[in-house]
């Protein structure tokens, strides 16, 4: 079994990444998957309710942001690229709000499909400073109808020629089915477009068969590979075995296993490389995976190697975990972060 090569990030690698950032500008990434509106109710807790043993939040601020695949799209834009968002929304105020947020964040939303039978997914997080008190979800978890799924695939066919690569972002809300993956992979092969997938932990490896690159975290990788979760979860030394199994099951030549504080393990054909994490402080990991896949895809289509693309993605994730909620990584702060974090 191949031993992973550990890569340290020195001044030369940092300069390669910084020099490449202008090349991200204008690269077009198609993002297909579940989207939502993330709502935040922020304030302070100073007392317990007299009505029930629960904290009373004194609201100081409310905020709405793009979430799930739409957060990937806004990260692509904030890093200099262009995002083509293909997904499904309801015919409701949530859809109007989501489209407004897309316009505000320069995300192309013209390829969204409207389904009158589904609500637009919304997630409301009630928070005291950096602490989550409760989350309220408005959603309908079920597969798309044949009609809506066909309309989604037509949107991909119409717009894929514009894209430099395609990202499938699966949050298991119903947009990403095995049929959608098969059709998207076929379309992308015809147009010679690379397909990356950010998988969901409830799926199995064969569900994503045919993609070029898959980016699970370690827990997701165990489930996708059909390996004993309880036995191996606390045994990170098995990551090579897990990654190799995932390559075989999905047929993906490239597997990137994100491992939190342990960085990333990258499988590319027969080569295995490990890169460290660059998170200086962690307030909230919400949306960090979205930032990673956005930066990774932009790095690849701009000409960076897979390893350097993963380094760039790790730095971008390090920026956003120091904030609260789904917040995109901006270029100036990314450059500063690369320069200053060791």
290 part of the active site = yes
**Strands across the sheet containing 165-169:** 5-6, 271-275, 264-268, 254-258, 213-214, 194-198, 165-169, 28-33, 82-89, 112-114
Task: Give the tokens for residue 314.
Answer: 């790790």
Exposure class string for 35-73: b at 16+ Cβ within 10 A, else e: bbbbbbbbbeeeeeeeeeeebebeeeeeebbbbbbbbbb
- State the catalytic residues: 290
């Amino acid at each position: 079994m191949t031993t992973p090569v550990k890569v340290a990030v020195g001044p030369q690698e940092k300069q390669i990444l910084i020099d490449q950032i202008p090349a991200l500008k204008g690269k077009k990434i198609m993002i297909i998957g579940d989207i939502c509106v993330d709502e935040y109710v922020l304030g302070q807790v100073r007392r317990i309710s007299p009505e029930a043993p629960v904290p009373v939040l004194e609201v100081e601020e409310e905020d709405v942001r793009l979430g799930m695949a739409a957060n990937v799209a806004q990260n692509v834009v904030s890093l200099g690229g262009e995002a083509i968002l293909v997904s499904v929304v309801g015919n409701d105020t949530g859809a109007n709000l989501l489209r407004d947020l897309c316009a505000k964040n320069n995300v192309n939303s013209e390829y969204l499909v409207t389904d009158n039978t589904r609500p637009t997914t919304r997630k409301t997080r009630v928070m005291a400073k950096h602490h989550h008190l409760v989350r309220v979800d408005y959603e309908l978890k079920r597969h798309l109808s044949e009609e809506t799924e066909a309309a989604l695939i037509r949107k991909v066919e119409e717009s894929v020629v514009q894209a430099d690569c395609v990202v499938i972002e699966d949050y298991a809300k119903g947009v990403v089915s095995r049929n959608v993956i098969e059709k998207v992979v076929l379309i992308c092969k015809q147009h010679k477009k690379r397909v990356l997938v950010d998988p969901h932990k409830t799926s199995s490896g064969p569900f994503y068969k045919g993609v070029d690159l898959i980016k699970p975290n370690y827990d997701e990788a165990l489930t996708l590979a059909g390996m004993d979760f309880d036995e191996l979860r606390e045994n990170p030394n098995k990551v090579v075995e897990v990654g190799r199994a995932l390559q075989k099951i999905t047929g993906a030549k490239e597997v990137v296993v994100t491992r939190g504080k342990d960085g990333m393990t990258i499988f590319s054909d027969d080569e295995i490389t490990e890169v460290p994490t660059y998170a200086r402080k962690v307030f909230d990991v919400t949306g960090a995976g979205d930032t990673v896949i956005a930066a990774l895809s932009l790095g690849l289509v701009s000409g960076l190697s897979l390893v350097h693309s993963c380094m760039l993605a790790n730095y971008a994730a390090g920026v956003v975990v120091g904030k609260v909620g789904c917040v995109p990584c901006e270029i100036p702060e990314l450059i500063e972060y690369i320069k200053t974090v060791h």
